[in-house]
Amino acid sequence: MADPVPLDPPLEGRCLCGAVTVSLREAKPGIEACHCDMCRRWTGGTFFSLHGVAPDAFTLSGEDAVNRYASSDWAERASCARCGSALWYSFRPAGTFSFMAGLFDLPASWPLDEQIFIDEMPPHNALAADTPKKTGAEVIAEARAAGFSFD
Beta carbons within 10 angstroms of residue 138's beta carbon: 15
- Residue 102: predicted pLDDT: 97
Is it the case that residue 104 has pLDDT exceeding 80? yes
Burial 49-83 (b: 16+ CB within 10 A, else e): bbbbbeeebbebebeebbeeeeeeeebebbbbbbe
Residue 1 binned pLDDT confidence (cut-offs 50, 70, 90): low
Summarised one tens digit per residue, pLDDT across range 114-123 is 999 999 999 8
Summarised one tens digit per residue, pLDDT across range 2-59 is 788 899 999 999 999 999 999 999 999 999 999 999 999 999 999 999 999 999 999 9
DSSP β-bridge partners for residue 33: 48, 115
Mean pLDDT of the 123-137 span: 86
- Residue 53: predicted pLDDT: 96
Summarised one tens digit per residue, pLDDT across range 57-94 is 999 999 999 999 999 999 999 999 999 999 999 999 99
Q: What is the largest CA-CA distance in the chain?
A: 41
pTM of the model: 0.87
Give Cβ neighbours of residue 42 (< 8 Å, ≥ 6 apart): 71, 77, 86
- Residue 110: predicted pLDDT: 92
Is it the case that residue 128 has pLDDT exceeding 90? no
**Angstrom distance (rounded) from CA 58 to CA 71:** 22
Residue 124 binned pLDDT confidence (cut-offs 50, 70, 90): confident
Rounded to 5°, the CA angle 71-75-80 comes to: 65
**Angstrom distance (rounded) from CA 7 to CA 97:** 16
- Sequence letter at residue 36: C
Torsion over CA: 41, 45, 49, 52 (sign): positive
- Residue 47: predicted pLDDT: 97
